[in-house]
Homo-oligomer: A and B are copies of this chain.
Amino acid sequence: MSIKFTYSSLYTFIQQVFLKIGCSEKDAKTAADTLISADMRGVDSHGVARLSGYVRLWEANRVKANPVIKIVHETSSTAVVDGDSGLGLVVAHFAMNVAIEKAKNCGTGWVSVKNSNHFGIAGTHAMMALSHDMIGMAMTNGSAIVAPTFSVEKLLGTNPIAVAVPSGKEQPFVADFATTTASNGKLEILQRKNNEAPGGWLQTKNGEPTTDAHALKDGGALLPLGGDKEHGSHKGYALGSIVDIFSAVLSGANYGPWVPPFPAYIPMPENGPGEGIGHFFGAMRIDAFRPADEFKKNMDQWIHRFKNAKAVEGQERVYIPGEPEIEMEKDRAENGIPLLEVVIEDLKKIGEKFEIAFPEKLS
């Protein structure tokens, strides 16, 4: 069902596509880097499978290939960045660098972004902070496919949060998760297999709980982390709301039901109160709190203790957030990135359109 490709061959292809739509060399590289990092980390829904989606947004004039991304307001620890309708992959990279520079000067940096588009995988942006001995944070809102607790209407995106924390000898701690019970990517896997979804993932268009994995397409909604009130869905709803507020109300982007959709064929919501979609980034310099080596020593102990906790029967062991992704990265660097045939067909069509040779499969 899937065929494997090398990192470098896919990377070259993606980069060429971004060059063909008019991105600068630098931006094409940044966009390709971010996109393929999702495939490497096993978040296939946010990787090369989305390339054609970005191209279609550009074709629909919803994305500019050569935006003038700039800071429109700032203090020593904060900024608002206007993405000028650029690729979110590129806008996010710019904004996270602003947060890091601010943190160098005054301990922390916090950047809210408006007028952007889908930024790809949150974790990769947050991880930019790690090499600077900083904690990194990244979040974004998205178009409304999630119903708040007790709501029939969809008012929130899956609004992910990523937090990356440096460590010493151990691998870094990298949390990266949608604020819903399950991400849309996980749901798509069940849809393809025609499997039922677990309870707590979805509701019907009337707001009733359902295990029908296709409910979202039939007017239903994804549910906030927790699933229902009894299991804490008001907490997932609060988390998704915080992401929406930090990303869009702070910056002047669209929020709630007014966030522009990723698929170019879906009409833009009317009467949007802001510009584009919104993101939020943070960077905290470790030594703005305590010496980095002391912190890392403690962080290593934290990770070691959790990794070595006694596991429940039937499970091998306890994982640190980000650990499965690191294992996946090693595997894919060695054995290639598997792509579904439907994704390959989609990429081949882009290749034909732009006259770029699609890479040979691995081996």
Using a CB–CB cutoff of 8 Å, the interface residues on chain A facing chain B are 73, 75-78, 80, 106-108, 110, 112, 135, 148-153, 155, 163, 165, 173, 175, 177-182, 198, 200-201, 203, 206-208, 225-227, 230-232, 234-239, 241-242, 244-246, 249-252, 255-257, 273-274, 284-286, 288-290, 294-295, 298-299, 301-302, 305-306, 309-313, 315, 317-319, 321
Q: Verify A302–B206 contact, CB threshold 8 A.
A: no
Q: Verify A245–B110 contact, CB threshold 8 A.
A: no
Q: Verify A250–B78 contact, CB threshold 8 A.
A: no
Given contacts A238-B175, A242-B175, A318-B151, contact A107 B80 (CB under 8 A): no
Residues from chain B with a CB closer than 8 A to the CB of A201 are 231
Q: Verify B302–A245 contact, CB threshold 8 A.
A: yes
Q: Tell me how far the C-beta of A100 lies from the nearest C-beta in chain B, rounded to whole angstroms.
A: 14
Q: Verify A177–B234 contact, CB threshold 8 A.
A: yes
Residues from chain B with a CB closer than 8 A to the CB of A149 are 318-319
Q: Verify B251–A305 contact, CB threshold 8 A.
A: no
Given contacts A295-B250, A312-B150, contact A108 B231 (CB under 8 A): no
Q: In the complex the two chains form, what is the Cα distance from A258 to B152 in whole Å?
A: 43
Q: Tell me how far the C-beta of A25 lies from the nearest C-beta in chain B, rounded to whole angstroms.
A: 32
Q: In the complex the two chains form, what is the Cα distance from A284 to B312 in whole Å?
A: 41
Q: In the complex the two chains form, what is the Cα distance from A289 to B112 in whole Å?
A: 7
Which one, B181, B251, B319, contacts A289 given CB within 8 A?
Answer: B251
Q: Verify A241–B151 contact, CB threshold 8 A.
A: no
Could you say how many copies of this chain the assembly holds? Answer: 2
The residue in chain B whose Cβ has the minimal distance to the Cβ of A156 is: B306
- Top 9 nearest A-B pairs (CB, nearest first) are A207-B312, A75-B107, A175-B238, A78-B107, A78-B288, A150-B315, A151-B309, A77-B107, A76-B106
Q: In the complex the two chains form, what is the Cα distance from A301 to B83 in whole Å?
A: 23
Q: In the complex the two chains form, what is the Cα distance from A151 to B317 in whole Å?
A: 7
Which one, B80, B135, B318, contacts A148 given CB within 8 A?
Answer: B318
Residues from chain B with a CB closer than 8 A to the CB of A235 are 175, 177-179, 225
Residues from chain B with a CB closer than 8 A to the CB of A151 are 306, 309-312, 318
Q: In the complex the two chains form, what is the Cα distance from A73 to B148 in whole Å?
A: 41
Q: Verify B302–A242 contact, CB threshold 8 A.
A: no
Q: Tell me how far the C-beta of A255 lies from the nearest C-beta in chain B, rounded to whole angstroms.
A: 6
Residues from chain B with a CB closer than 8 A to the CB of A257 are 305
Which one, B236, B255, B294, B305, contacts A155 given CB within 8 A?
Answer: B305
Which one, B148, B232, B318, contacts A150 given CB within 8 A?
Answer: B318
Q: Tell me how far the C-beta of A155 lies from the nearest C-beta in chain B, rounded to whole angstroms.
A: 6
Q: In the complex the two chains form, what is the Cα distance from A98 to B239 in whole Å?
A: 25
Q: Verify B150–A299 contact, CB threshold 8 A.
A: no
Give the residue among A73, A108, A152, A295 with the most B Cβ atoms within 10 A: A108
Which one, B173, B290, B305, contacts A73 given CB within 8 A?
Answer: B290
Residues from chain B with a CB closer than 8 A to the CB of A179 are 235
Residues from chain B with a CB closer than 8 A to the CB of A285 are 75, 78
